[in-house]
Chains A and B, each alone.
Chain A
Amino acid sequence: MSTTTGSSDGATAPGARRPPTAAIHSTEPLPLQPEEVAIHIQDLQFYYDQDAQALWDIDLECPRHRITALIGPSGCGKSTLLRCLNRMNELIDGTRYEGHIFLEGTDLYGTEVDPVALRRHVGMVFQKPNPFPKSVYENVAYGLRLHQKLTKKELDERVQWALEKAHLWDEVKDRLDDAATGLSGGQQQRLCIARALAVEPKVLLMDEPCSALDPVATQKIEDLMLELKKDVTIVIVTHSMSQAARVSDRTAFLYKGKLIEAGPTRQIFEAPREDLTEQYITGRFG
């Protein structure tokens, strides 16, 4: 648990950006203990079309209540892999997969699993803040209304709880009925996080959540992530290596649809075992 505290220390005054190396905090040993694994991807193949294979032989474990970062150059398949975790890829016609993804021991692609039921437990935050064109309140209440019959009072409480979790409550509590699209980009993204948190997911998938945001807003989201991992397992796709270094506990490097290397973030950044990883980390391609 010392790693968690180490990371909170790094969250100093807003706007003050820490040097990336100072935040490489994970010192976990290389192999994960079976009982700390939340997500276990086993021999996953993924195809967008009959001939267009996007992922090859992925084997990856993501520890519970930790942040796992997926990095790699554009088109390496990191977003596709992320979207396998809540079966979002199925919305595209013609996609196909082979292999297994176990979430807390359940095979996500098992015949009895309903993707709609699954997505309730695996929340997602997207690259571009995508609040619904509704009020701030209705955005957060959206998922709750789908899954639970709550009284107005219970709903109010849960909305407040989620907004507080997302560090947004103080900024929006007086304008809950205003259009969510009127918020700033960073606020919109935290609203999207609150919306995902409201239904209390086990896992939060984040697909380059800061790529559309300025540095201050990015810092806020990163601080938030470090706090949220106490409650949820986070998998984040990021194109920013410094972000991966700052926030993640474990990092997986993908290249051309294959998993090149995965391990504790510190080890990946300080002592990569693969040449490709080192070339990417040091900015020689991508």
Chain B
Amino acid sequence: MSGDGALLFTADADLHRRRRTERRWKAVLLVGASFSIVGLAVLIVRMLADGVPHMNLDFWSESYSPSGIRGRTAGIFDALVSSILVLGMTMVIAVPVGTAAGIYLYEYAHKSRLTDWIRATVSNLAGVPSVVYGLLGLAIFVRLFADTFGMPRQGTYLAAALTLAVLILPILIVATEEALKTVPATVRHASLGLGATKWQTIRHHVLPYALPGILTGQILALSRAAGETAPLLIIGLPTYQVFQTYGPLATGTPLQVRAYYLASDARQEAIDLAAGAIVVLLLATLALNLLAIFLRDRLQNRIRW
């Protein structure tokens, strides 16, 4: 009973082979991961390198004109204003509806078939391709609204904003629900226990607590809307207008649409302007996402406390 002699627990030839396999696969994984990072890094660096040199003062302060393109004095001012107008209207339309729907789902809805259907619809709407939203906007917000309300039979800022609002609605609903989930039940119970109604509890206690989370979702939704181009092309925002007009029922060319048309232009001057516009879109969306991630991390730290 004195043991089986020397058991050394050292790596034998077979284990050495297994270790080699492990090292080889680890290298494969590392290469794959580097591919992801390098691929995306190359994208950002190239876009910056192509666009930044063309971002001079004229680029920011001047508007689009054919002569401006030829003389390299055209800029994105008008397109930027259009974009901000469209996005502002989008958020004004989408945020109340999306937030309210999220509140309904998390705070009011009981587990019922209706709730299940709403949830299923939301998650499937989130996966609908943006061109389909474009077609929706074209048929409803442009054609149908023109026929029924006598609105202009063309892509207006309002039609664009409504289309984008519908597109980001699912994102807002899900984000609101997620933010409400982080509110501890004790906050609700404390308020309800003092005799407050549900709405008072939500307004005075739940919403302030969930606000940073809801805001994060709104920023992400804004970033998504800012990057969407296809729906705006489909509802027919114009390629170019000599004088852009601003107002809900006016029409013009937002930056995304402008960048697309400039990129399809054969002239190098137009392509250079497009490169600058692309950088603006890239940096704007990255900044929004960065802000959202930053807010979310702050939030997580708070919750850990």
Q: Which residues of A contact B (CB under 8 A)?
A: 35-36, 38, 64-65, 103-106, 108, 112-114, 116-118, 121, 146-147, 202
Contact = CB atoms under 8 A, between A and B. Distances in A.
B127 interface: no
Contact of A114 (B2, B3, B4, B9): B9
21 contacts: A35-B1, A35-B2, A36-B1, A104-B5, A104-B6, A105-B7, A106-B8, A106-B9, A108-B9, A112-B8, A113-B9, A114-B9, A114-B10, A114-B15, A116-B15, A117-B11, A117-B12, A121-B9, A146-B18, A147-B14, A202-B7
B10 A104 contact: no
Contacts of A103: 7, 9
7 cross-chain pairs, A with B, having the tightest CB-CB distances, nearest first: A114-B11, A118-B9, A104-B3, A35-B2, A113-B9, A117-B9, A112-B10
Contacts of B15: 114, 116-117
Contacts of A35: 1-2
Nearest to A34: B2
Among B1, B4, B12, the one with the most A-chain Cβ atoms within 10 Å of its Cβ is B1
Interface string B1-38: 11111111111101100110000000000000000000
- B interface majority secondary structure: loop
A105 B14 contact: no
A31 B6 CA distance: 24
Nearest to A202: B7
Given A104-B6, A106-B9, A202-B4, 16 more contacts: A35-B1, A65-B1, A103-B9, A104-B5, A104-B7, A106-B8, A113-B8, A113-B10, A114-B9, A116-B15, A116-B18, A117-B10, A117-B11, A121-B7, A121-B9, A147-B14
Contacts of A117: 9-12, 15
Contacts of B6: 104-106
Interface residues of B, number: 16
Contacts of A112: 8, 10
Nearest to A148: B14
A64 B8 contact: no
Contacts of A202: 4, 7
A65 to B, nearest CB: 7
Contact of B11 (A36, A38, A64, A116): A116
Contacts of A104: 3-7
A142 B14 CA distance: 16
